[in-house]
Each structure stands twice: as C-alpha cells, then as structure tokens.
Amino acid sequence: MNVTKLVRRGVVLALVCGAQFMVVLDIAIVNVALPSIQEDLDVVPSDLQWVVITYGLTLGGLLLLGGRASDLLGRRNVLVAGLGLFTAASLAAGLADSLGLLVTARAVQGVGGALTAPAALSILASTFAEGAERNKALGIFGAVGGSAASVGVILSGALTSGPGWPWIFLVNVPIGIVLVGLVLRFVPDSPPAEDRRGFDLPGAVAVTGGLMAIVYAINKSVDNGWTSGSTLGFLGGGAALLALFLLIESRTASPLLPLSMFRRRTLNAANLVAVLAFGSFFATIFQASLFMQQVLRYSAMRTGVAYLAIAATAFVVAGAVAARVVDRRGASTALVVGQLSSAAGLLLLSRVPADADYWADVFPGFFLIGIGIGFSGMAAQVAAFIGVEERVAGLAGGMVETAREVGGALGIAVVGTVALARSEDVLATLGARASDPAGQALALTEGFQRGTLLMAALSVAGAVVAALALRPAERRAAAEATAASADGTTVAEPTPVTV
C-alpha cells in the first residue's frame, strides 16, 4: 500500500474517531454541570437525571435504526446527516432556558448521535480488514470512545467554571461544522444498498418507548413506591412495548433488528457485557460528580480535573495495552480484566467518608476504574465484530452501541434511584439533624456508598458474563473459521474499502 493510501486511511480513522468522540462526550459532559443546571433552571433532584438519561435513551433506542440506515442509504450520507442534526440540537441545548427545552434538545441530540455512531463504526469496519489491522484501528477508536466520557467531565468543569454551562453544548457547534466539511472531503462515498425497502419505524418507536417507560418507572419509584399503580403501569407498559417490538421484528419484511442476529452468540455476549460495563461506568460518572460537588464541596473545575485519573489511564490502557491483550488472549480476557479492575476501584470508592481526601480516598478507585474502562471499551467493540459480514456491519455496530448507551441510561436510573432512596432513608432517621449541613452530607455520602456497591456488582457481573459466555463463543467462532479455511470454504468477512 502506498503512502497516499495510508495517509487517507489515517484521515478517515481520525474523522470517525472525532465523530464518535463528540457523541460519547455528550453522554458525560453534562455531569459536572448538573448542580449549575439545577440551580439556574430550578430543577428538582429527581428530575435532574433526565438531562443525562434522555440523551442516552434516545441515542440507544434509535441506534439500530441508525445502523440500518447506514447499511441502506450509504455510510457517509448517514454520517453527515447525523453530524448536522447533532450540531443543530447542540445549539438549541445551549440556548435553552427551561428544563423542558433542554430535555427536548437533548432528545434531538440523541437522534443525531444515533445516526452518527453506527455509521462511523461501520466506515471503520469496512475500511480496515478483519484481524490485526482492524484490531489496531479499533484500539484507537476504543481509546477515543473510552476516554471521551472522562474527558467530557474534565471539559465540563472548565466550561462550567468559565463561560458557563451552556457552553458544554455550544462547543459542539464549530466542531460539528468542521467535521461535516472534512467528512464530505475525505470519506469515500459508499453506494446505498440495492434493496432499499422501507425502514422499520414502528419497531424503532416501540423499543424506544418501551425503554423510556421502564426508566421513567424506575426513576419515579422513590416518590411513588414500587407497588404504586403509576410505577407498575409504566413497567407493564414498557414491557408490553418491548414485546411488541419483538413481534414487529418477527413479522415485518424489513426488520429494524432481524431476530436472526440473536443467533450470533459472540455478538450477544459482547452486547450483554457492554450493558453491564457501561451501566456501571456512566452511573459512576453521574454519582461521583454529584458527590464531589455536593459533599466534598469541589468546584466544577476541581471536579473535572479530578477525573484526569480516569481519563488519562483509560486512554493509555486502551491504546497501548488493551489491543495487545485482545490480539494475544482474546477480547473476553481483556473484558474480564477490565471489569474486575473496575469492580475493585468501585469497592474502594464505596468506603469514602464525607470528608474524603482525594489522593487517599478517591484517586486509587478512579485509577482502577480508568484501567477497567480502558480494557472494556475497546474489547467489547472487537468482540462484537468477530465473524460479522460487511453487509450487516452497520447493524452490528448499532447493536453494540445500543447496548452501551441503553446500559448507561439504565445504570444511571437504577443506581441513582438506589442512592436517592438510601439518602432519604438516612434523612428520615436524623430527625432535626436532617436540615443540618452535616446531616445532609452524611445522607448523601451513604447514598453514594450504596450506589457504588451496586455499580461494583454490575462490573462483577460483566466479568462473569465475559468469562462464562463470551469466552466459549469467541473460541467457537475461531474454531469455525479455522475449520472453514481448512475445508476450502470461503469465510465471510468484511471487504476492506480502498481509500
């Protein structure tokens, strides 16, 4: 391959990494700004989660549609459309003066991200051949995506302390415009599929609505109780919509998610680990941001800087270590190592006191979590593409991204609900002391500790699934590929695009 082609591939990789970075960044960038948003827009604590959850659920619920769109309409076309919509919604979010407008803009951001993320990943998968070449590219892609959430909270601290929280959204506008121009210039156009049957919009609406209803029920269970008619009604409605989604997929001529994809054991195992791993990680960022500002009284800037322990560690591990482990030991081993490291870090954080010292009490846990997400983010993506043909690469990319974003939203909802419930229980036992700053700090600390234990349990579960489900599936896929090669059978693999 000549130097020009190598350079053009490098440019394509840089652009898709930039697009992915912006999408993942906005999952976490609001976290440090939450106290400022709460104060400026007069938001009650139980509704504050929706500034984060709405983006994650809309993004996750529509990613399958975005993956399907990238396969049918052309990857570059969908990437440009997604970036344009994301940029416009970012402008609206930065100008929002009420919670309703902000949440609406965040939902539209999620739609733009749902088009952008699977298209970017599909472009990467079709540009680099399966094996060491793609693993190296995915290592870089994973390093960027895995560190974006941590970088988001650092950038959020700087912007919130400086020009103000609206700029955590407005900063996307010039970046998005530049990315659109560069994508049109350097990313080769991919022809739309010959078979361009209609999109499965009913399926997309059913799965997104089902997830929204379930998360709403979880979020409001603290106020209404788990046995209330409202909670049970939303849980039942959400379950019914998810069942309807499966029914639609089994009967429609052009399903959003062909049920045959569920027969891909490696992909299914990778998706389950992604749900658990990112459910734990994004809940960690959400809870720790509130804890550091509301209990430890860190400024927004100091809170952002505190996350350097996670961001720097994740970037180094994903780029320099995780790819080698995946090449030599497999994605499942990297996921086990990553999730156990995250669990260890979370167990350390579950013991932090209300007057915690950063270096003694917080830094060790953050460092181990950085190692964990550095391994896990990259390895889950590699596992999801094992044995996947180019014709469904966009769909596979949409599935693994869906697992990550939905897992993150569910993790924030579940962990946040558990932490809030524990804090309210503690306040109820304090009596007159509940209004004292010391009493409130104690309640918030115990809520954070309880939530952190739950996050550690999610990480342990991720390691168990990787060891017991992903590892056998990964070995089986390798054995089948070897057998097919020995028999002279053509092994299906994505065809690299020469750029």
DSSP for 68-119 reads HHHHHH-HHHHHHHHHHHHHHHHHHHHH--SHHHHHHHHHHHHHHHHHHHHH
Q: How many whole angstroms separate alpha carbon 365 and alpha carbon 205?
A: 39
**Amino acid residing at 458:** L
* DSSP string for 444-493: HHHHHHHHHHHHHHHHHHHHHHIIIIIHHHHHHHHHHHHHHHHTTPPPP-
Nearest Cα to Cα of residue 168 among 36, 311, 54: 36
In the prediction, which pLDDT does 121 show? 82
pLDDT digit string, tens, across residues 158-191: 999 999 999 999 999 999 999 999 999 999 887 7
Q: Of 69-73, 130-134, 177-181, 377-381, which gets the smallest average pLDDT?
A: 130-134
Of 394 and 70, more confident: 70
pTM of the complete model: 0.85
In the 3-class helix/strand/coil scheme, how is 341-371 assigned residue by residue?
HHHHHHHHHCCCCCCCCHHHHHHHHHHHHHH
**Residue 66 and residue 117 in contact, taking contact as beta carbons nearer than 8 Å:** yes
Q: Is the pLDDT of residue 386 over 80?
A: no
Q: Of 8-12, 129-133, 297-301, which gets the smallest average pLDDT?
A: 129-133
In the prediction, which pLDDT does 488 show? 59
In the prediction, which pLDDT does 493 show? 43
In the prediction, which pLDDT does 194 show? 60
Q: How many whole angstroms separate alpha carbon 169 and alpha carbon 125?
A: 29
